[in-house]
Amino acid sequence: MKTLIVCASRYGATMEIGRWIADRLPWKETEVVSVTEDPDPSGFELVFLGGGVYNEKVGKPIVQYAQKRLEALAGKYLAAFAVCLDTKGVYMKGRFFGGWLYLQPLLDALCDHPPLYAGVLSGEIIPKKLTEKDYNLLMHFYTRILKRDITEVPYRTLMDKRQVWDFTEKVLHRLEGHF
Ligand SMILES: Cc1cc2nc3c(=O)[nH]c(=O)nc-3n(C[C@H](O)[C@H](O)[C@H](O)COP(=O)(O)O)c2cc1C
């Protein structure tokens, strides 16, 4: 089944996960493409849309891509995924944060064309790769919001190929008509 995996990735985690999804698909006709290349989804039967999460939302570039390409995406099998640290989410002061909520902007953009399946997958932070702005935003988050006593953004990887393959297997299952 001709498959396109479109990834909005600022630091590479979503792109790597896109390649892991491609590894698990049991056919070879799969392309993993950055959203910056604005790939044309016509001619593909299955399209994965994935993006890294920034400030409580899946990144804007993948949402804008879905909006722009909505007509071409209609009628295709779709799957959506977000890549982040807080995959489970948390309840705090009368509100839910994180987890599934991160995907909402992408689902909203796809409106009448809901994906077959969606997933919230674990990413990573490699501090030396971050722009100064992102580094400072994260320091602010850790020290002011989480009140952590740290002087540097910590290295953290939760990248998990088994989790990505489980997600991909669910998509395959749904394609076969199972729930
Ligand atoms: C400035 C900044 C903001 C972030 N905001 C969140 C967030 O709100 N929730 C979360 O779980 N992860 C957050 N992350 C972690 C990213 O989602 C994680 O690094 C992910 O792997 C990024 O994927 P990418 O490299 O493909 O863009 C943030 C990271 C940065 C640098």
Q: How far apart are CA 60 and CA 179, in angstroms?
A: 29
* 114 and 43, same domain (yes or no): yes
Q: How far apart are CA 77 and CA 43, in angstroms?
A: 12
- Paired tokens of 116: 């077959």
Nearest CA to ligand 1 atom 1: 134
Q: Which of 130, 113, 111, 115 lies closest to 78 in space, CA to CA? A: 115
Q: Tell me, in angstroms, the distance from the centre of ligand 1 to residue 27's CA.
A: 31
Ligand 1 close to Cβ of residue 138 (< 6 A): yes
- Paired tokens of 86: 């807080």
Which pLDDT value is given to residue 90? 94
* 108 and 96, same domain (yes or no): yes
pLDDT in tens, 102-151: 999 999 999 889 999 999 999 999 999 999 999 999 999 999 989 999 99
* 92 and 119, same domain (yes or no): yes
Ligand 1 close to Cβ of residue 119 (< 6 A): no
pLDDT in tens, 5-55: 999 999 999 999 999 999 999 999 999 999 999 999 999 999 999 999 999
Ligand 1 close to Cβ of residue 21 (< 6 A): no
Domain of residue 144 covers 126-156
Number of structural domains (the chain) is: 2
* 104 and 148, same domain (yes or no): no
* 165 and 98, same domain (yes or no): yes
Dihedral angle sign, alpha carbons of residues 58, 64, 69, 71: positive
Which pLDDT value is given to residue 179? 77
Q: Where are the alpha helices (DSSP H) in 91-143?
A: 104-110, 132-140
What's the chain's length in residues?
A: 179
Q: How far apart are CA 123 and CA 54, in angstroms?
A: 12
Choose which residue among 53, 62, 97 to substitute to test ligand 1 binding: the one with the highest number of ligand atoms within 8 A of its C-beta.
53
pLDDT band at 160 (very low <50, low <70, confident <90, very high): very high
Ligand 1 close to Cβ of residue 108 (< 6 A): no
